[in-house]
Structure 1
Amino acid sequence: MKNTLRVERAIKDITQADLAEKIGVSRQTINTIESNKYVPSTVLALKIARVFGKPVEQIFSLEEGD
């Protein structure tokens, strides 16, 4: 799964720590999601999408092998 989290954060000028605080996770969790080392739960993906005011599909997408 790939994501546009880093781009979305840059557009809104939100740090990893800011986003983490808004959704109740650690900054390291945001970092691992951005690095594609961790796939967020459905609930976490929905919380992230809500922060950016976008559908989940605009932030997270499946890759060929997923």
Structure 2
Amino acid sequence: MTTLKTNLKELRENKNIKQSELAELVGVRRETIVHLENGKYNPSLKLAMDIAKIFGVTVEELFEFID
């Protein structure tokens, strides 16, 4: 089983951005950000790229699949 690992929560907290603020910036619901942070949602490529752009990191630095 493949697991999604992310450091989204750490990046978001370091920039003092609330889940709701990030959700608004990328055009999703706050619940989507919650699920992303908990590794329970696999983002679309566009969403992953939009979030990575906000934090100035690559998609690979933001998300990683672990076998």
**Under a length normalisation based on structure 2, what TM-score does the superposition of the two structures give?**
0.91
TM-score normalised according to structure 1 size = 0.93
Identity of aligned residues (%): 44
> Which consecutive segments of 4 or more residues in structure 1 shift more than 6 A?
none
Unaligned runs of 5+ in 1: none
Following superposition, the deviation at residue 30 of structure 1 comes to 0.3
Q: How many residues align?
A: 64
Greater strand share, 1 or 2?
2
In structure 1, distance between residues paired with 2:18 and 2:57 = 18
**Match in the other structure for 1:26:** 29
**1:14 Cα deviation (Å)?**
0.3
Runs (5+) with no aligned partner, structure 2: none
